[in-house]
Amino acid sequence: QVQLVESGGGLVQAGGSLRLSCTASARTFTAYAVGWFRQAPGKEREFVAVIGGSGGDALDYRDSLKGRFTISRDNAKNTVYLQMNSLNPEDTAVYYCAAATFFTRTLGSYAYWGQGTQVTVSS
């Protein structure tokens, strides 16, 4: 299977930026679509963004995050990034990356998950 590790979370003031990283254990990672999801306390895990695999350029974002968040990948480093700008306290959550065999925004379609990284945005 694919092992995923998130990093880059932390505490940031409202209006600031963070870049999250998701690094995979194997080169086959490049063939997978990789999604970012987040979960705030007391809320369901929700889709954030996805990037296609196998050299594709497909991208998708949660509608409310378009223009603030950018997903990208560096296949040479087996890493997917989530650049988060203009953060506000409502972005506070544990952020997870996940890998799927096809391009999708559906949480249940992702077979492999990281352990998450905490993002806290203060006002």
Residue type, 105: R
What is the mean predicted confidence (pLDDT) over 30-51?
96
pLDDT at 39: 98
Distances from the Cα of 28 to the Cα of 9, 31, 106, angstroms: 25, 6, 21
Rounded Cα distance, 1 and 120, in Å? 30
pLDDT at 55: 67
Rounded Cα distance, 49 and 26, in Å? 22
What is the mean predicted confidence (pLDDT) over 41-63?
92
What is the mean predicted confidence (pLDDT) over 6-31?
93
